[in-house]
Amino acid sequence: MRRSAAMNNLLWYTDRTRYEEGTSRCARKRYLTYHAGGTGYGFIARRESLPLATGLSVHEGFAQLVAVLRDHNRLPTLQETRVIVASVIGTYVARVEERGYRGILGSDETEETITEQSALIEGLLRAVVLRVLPWLHQTYQVLSIEEERLHFLDCSCGSIALDGAAHIERGCTGKALMLRTDLLARRRNSAQLAYFEVKTTGWESSAWAEQWETKPQLALGTLDTVHRFGGEVSELYIIGLNKGRRQRDRYDADERRRQLSPLCYGYLRPANPPLQNDDWLPAYEWINDRGETKRASKAHRRTGIWRLETSDWPTWRAYLTANPDMTASEFWIQQLPASVLDKVVFILGPMDRQDVQLHSLLGNITGEEERWQDALWALYAGLQQHPWASVEFQAMLDKVVPCSWACRPFGKEHECEFVPVCHRHVGWEDPIGSGHYQPRLPHHQPELEQAIARGLLPEHAAAPEEDE
């Protein structure tokens, strides 16, 4: 896109997340996240804690793995998998180092957390290679991965079928829904299309699984496929990746929070030389290949799988002798029984396309964005007369974008990041100036380019990966 055209970008951008934020969670949270502040693109809490492995890390690796299927019509080789896994872990570790957790803030505890989260990333990606990719490759031809695109809800220039660049050239002031397709594929020997969303969770349950059939995310993923790929989506899937809960281990005296996932921790009975070697088990309880329920003994204690590297467990040593390049995580994933892996990676679907919902949803979003345009113009006018922290402007906020006060829907540890602002803690009068918040950098490329073209963000700005 030429810079002169980009500077003429008058489109109104929205996405599913902010729509759901404003309608299902809290209008004030949407305003603060996406519209408030000096840039007009919102602000977010400044991230100062040790970053954990997020869904974005896994998406990055998943996209690279599936790209092999799309580009070469085959599964990734062992070497390709190792390179991709190492690259994603390297990106995660670089984020850690940027925050100083391998410098002045480093400690034995932070190093162990970094190792734990690296094992989680590797475990999830290798589980995908074992449990998802063979079925996906056999059944489907991959068409699109992590593709960013626009769907125009309305248009002022009279050319709604044109791409985004053409609308910008014409000075269009229409509304564009920013979409990012996780995975679109076509059934082999068929015209049927299937849409896949990759979702990480630490709280997998029947309620979590049941929500997806009516969630807008899946419906929106089916938009424009006839125009782009010559067919309609008839199958919807969720690829679920369970990270395990991050909590304190009640059997551990130090009360540290750990990622309680079988991808990170096994059960070790330490060696007693010369009578016995180390013995590792995959979980406290599992079902073996014969359908028998097995349990670890009281002598087995939860232990990080990275401890395998110095373990004398004969099974591990035999594998390592045969394959010196094998990592502990690579070995461990191969040893996990199916009953354990089934809870780590699973596929929900096929679910039907919700045509009635989709038709209604597009009208819902269009109307909601019109209301937000009116609300933001009113708030802009209010800020010309009254400062942000004034009684007058705060009263206007209460009327135009009210708080839901659902600040802790998942408990205190996961409370809304804007509690200090809405509950008026010290520094709420100037969220960014207080140092507690920073301007949001848009994650979708069209909105990021718009902000840069308007001079509101530096030319080489890149959206940071947010912690989950």
The residue written with tokens 């593709």 in the block is 147
Close Cβ partners of 124 (under 8 Å, ≥ 6 residues apart) = 58, 61, 200, 241, 243, 263, 344, 345
pLDDT tens string 171-226:
899 999 999 989 999 999 998 999 999 999 887 778 888 889 888 889 898 898 98
pLDDT at 253: 65
Beta strands in 188-256 (DSSP E): 193-201, 233-242, 245-248
Helix (H) or strand (E) holding 281: strand 279-281
Q: Which of 345, 346, 337 is nearest to 286 (CA)?
A: 337
Instruction: Judge if the upstream peptide bond of residue 350 is cis by omega within 30 degrees of 0.
Output: yes
Q: Which two tokens stand for residue 256?
A: 């540290």
Which pLDDT tens digits describe the chain residue by residue (468 residues)? Answer: 444 555 678 999 999 999 999 999 999 999 999 999 988 999 999 876 677 777 788 999 999 999 999 999 999 999 999 999 999 999 999 888 887 877 666 678 889 999 999 999 999 999 999 999 999 999 999 999 999 999 999 999 887 766 788 898 888 999 999 999 899 999 999 989 999 999 998 877 788 888 898 888 898 988 989 888 988 999 999 999 999 988 877 666 666 788 999 999 999 999 998 889 999 999 999 999 899 999 999 999 999 999 999 999 999 999 999 999 999 999 999 999 999 999 999 999 999 888 899 999 999 999 999 999 999 999 999 999 999 999 999 999 999 999 999 999 888 878 999 999 999 999 999 999 999 999 998 989 999 989 988 888 776 555 444 444
pLDDT at 454: 86
Amino acid at 184: L
pLDDT at 119: 96
The CA distance from 52 to 28, in Å, is: 27
Parallel, antiparallel or unpaired: strands 279-281 and 345-351 = unpaired
Domains of the chain by residue range:
7-46+356-453
pLDDT tens string 133-148:
999 999 999 999 999 9
pLDDT at 255: 67
pLDDT at 385: 96
**In a 10 Å sphere around its CB, with 0-12 CB exposed, 13-18 middle and 19+ buried, how is residue 252 labelled?**
exposed
The CA distance from 295 to 243, in Å, is: 22
Count of beta carbons in the 10 Å neighbourhood of residue 142: 19
pLDDT at 104: 60
Which residues is 144 bridged to in the sheet? Answer: 184
State residue 163 phi and psi, 5-degree precision.
Answer: -80, 175
